[in-house]
Structure 1
Amino acid sequence: MKITILMAMAVFLSPANKHYMGGQKDKKLIVTEIEHDGEADLVEVSALLEARTELNAIDVVNWDAFPYAPKVEFRIARNKNDIWLKYYVTEAHILAKNTEPNSAVSKDSCVEFFFDPLGDGNYYNFEINCIGTVHLAYGPGRHQREFVDPEVIRKHIRTASSLGDRPFSEKKGGHSWEMTVIIPAAVMTFNKGLSLEGSKAKSNFYKCGDAMSKKHYVTWNPIATEDPDYHRPEYFGDLIFE
């Protein structure tokens, strides 16, 4: 097995080309490639991300009404035309009631990856609760979403959580969990033939729990809205795929 790995790192845009939203700098994440002969399983993906990529924090508290901030970090890389992600979460409570694709996973303990592959304001909202249930839709805003077919989600997206895949009611007392995710470009059915290599995209990464005792909304790139709203592509940071 041949493995050639470059690292992914998050940096702020340099003073020469920075721009501002809400008075704050946009983040830029360079997503480099992990080359792997054959199809990697989730255990291999987890290990490769763990060994060869840098941690990025989802730690921005944008809204005073929701001050609680669990510790959330992630790693990201590209393998061929797949996006590899690994999340690390430490939080006071965990909750996972939703088990069907495109159900209301944001009510559970949920990590999210909003991805605008063309940088044109149309984005996919990958929402994944802590047992790996995926909600996925596409469009230009909160009220103009089209769901990706649940069978396409089941076929293409692979997840593995340290909490397993069975639902449970809210558990208190402090918990840590990890989630590995493989997202092939093929699941982005509104962008047929999408190639990640060399592309420039827009994105944000989130953690939430709408129905949890300690409701929270933390982000990777800042959002300058009055109330919590993740469906704001104007506040996405930059993803550069090598």
Structure 2
Amino acid sequence: MRISWYMCIVGVAAAAAAQEVVEREVCWTSSPVVVDGVLDEPAWEAAERVSLAGAVDGSAVPEELTTYTRMLWDERNLYIAFECSDPDIWGTMTQRDASLWKEEVVEVFLDPDGDGENYAELEVSPNNTVVDLKIVRLKPWKSELGWDIAGLRTAVQVEGTVNLRDDVDRGWTAEIAIPWASLEDIPEATGGPPEDGTSWRGNLYRIERPLGKDWVLMAWSPVGRPAFHTPERFGVLIFLIAPPAVQGALWGTLKLLFR
């Protein structure tokens, strides 16, 4: 990859309505990313924040539960960040591959070939507890909890207190680095970075369970029902090396005059 850019405008090609599949340009970074839960690197500052909506119909979520996501990639990793407003942060599970979806969590689904039959799932809790698994939807449907994302790095930064239910928190941030090499046994994932312009299917989710209230399901690409395993509604991730403005630029002529 000869062109290295971290400046990028992330475009959403379709509105996040209930029955629309959205697109997102995931932009290349040549600037280092430190996975520490703090999004203060130039690469993250250049990445546009894309909000999550109601997972079923794309409706607006309560302001106090606003969630923003950012995505980047380089020759080694796919980077994802979640910024979650949350007045009541909690999570009790601390063992890897626990049933995190029963509490509060953010989730990443990646389906490189887009057929909905085999894809990777990753969940991260406010405690920085992780569940990673491979989903195989060929009959019989199964989830492979024994499968791990080798070299996975995650970090969480909390603004508030975890599991103190009677105070008011501000929110939490999850930062994730998924090595391309760890996805090599997912169909169409080569074990290396995608080619410029390659498209994958995928989705980003959040589950919020407020005290004494109904749970809230959020998604980047709304799935039309309260079930995250709806791969036909996954969005389209387009991996780009150069920013769109550079890719579409026309070459000009430079004249040098020597006197």
User: TM-score under structure 1 normalisation?
Assistant: 0.79
Give CA deviations for 1:38-91 in whole Å, capped at 9, x if unaligned. Answer: x74325983234311000011235269xx7671100110101131111111112
C-alpha spacing 1:57/1:94, structure 2 compared with 1 (3 Å)? same
- 1:126 to 1:213, Cα distance in 2 relative to 1, 3 A: farther
Q: Runs (4+) of structure 1 moved beyond 6 Å?
A: none
In structure 2, how many angstroms separate the alpha carbons of the residues matched to 1:62 and 1:32?
A: 27
- Give the match for residue 221 of structure 1: 221
Residue in structure 2 matched with residue 53 of structure 1 by the alignment: 47
Give, in angstroms, the shift of residue 92 of structure 1.
Answer: 2.9
Q: Counterpart of 2:155?
A: 160
Residues 11-26 of structure 1 aligned to structure 2 (within 5 Å): 11-13=12-14, 24-26=19-21
In the TM superposition, 1:73-152 aligns within 5 A as 73-121=68-116, 122-141=118-137, 143-149=141-147, 152=148
Aligned residue in 1 for 2:34: 41
Does the Cα contact within 8 Å between 2:110 and 2:202 map onto a contact in 1?
yes
The structure with the greater share of residues assigned to strand is: 1
Distance change in 2, residues 1:13/1:209 (3 Å): closer
**Which deviates further from its counterpart, 137-146 or 91-100?**
137-146
1:165-184, aligned counterparts within 5 Å?
A: 168=163, 170=165, 172-184=167-179
Instruction: Quote the residue 1:17 is aligned against.
Output: none
TM-score by length of structure 2 reads 0.74
CA-CA distance at 1:136 after TM superposition: 1.1
CA RMSD of aligned residues (A): 3.2
Choose 1 or 2 for highest CA Rg.
Answer: 2
Q: Which runs of 5+ in 2 are unaligned?
A: 241-259
| Paired residue type of 2:34 | D
Alpha carbons 1:101, 1:133 under 8 Å: kept? yes
| Aligned equivalent of 1:7 | 8
Residue identity matched to 2:107 = E
Match of 1:235 among 220, 230, 233: 233
Deviates more, 1:85-94 or 1:187-196: 187-196
Q: Say how many residue pairs are matched.
A: 224
Distance across 1 between alignment mates of 2:210 and 2:5: 42
Deviation at 1:138, TM superposition (A): 1.2
Distance 1:147 1:31 in 2: 27
The 1:110–1:43 alpha-carbon spacing in structure 2 relative to 1, beyond 3 Å, is: closer
Unaligned runs of 5+ in 1: 15-20
TM-aligned CA distance change 1:68 to 1:52, over 3 Å:
closer
CA spacing shift, 1:189–1:196, aligned 2, 3 Å? closer
Change (3 A) 1:117 1:8: farther
CA distance in 1, matches of 2:71, 2:216: 23
Q: Return the alpha-carbon distance in structure 1 between the equivalents of residues 10 and 74 of structure 2.
A: 16
Identity %: 20
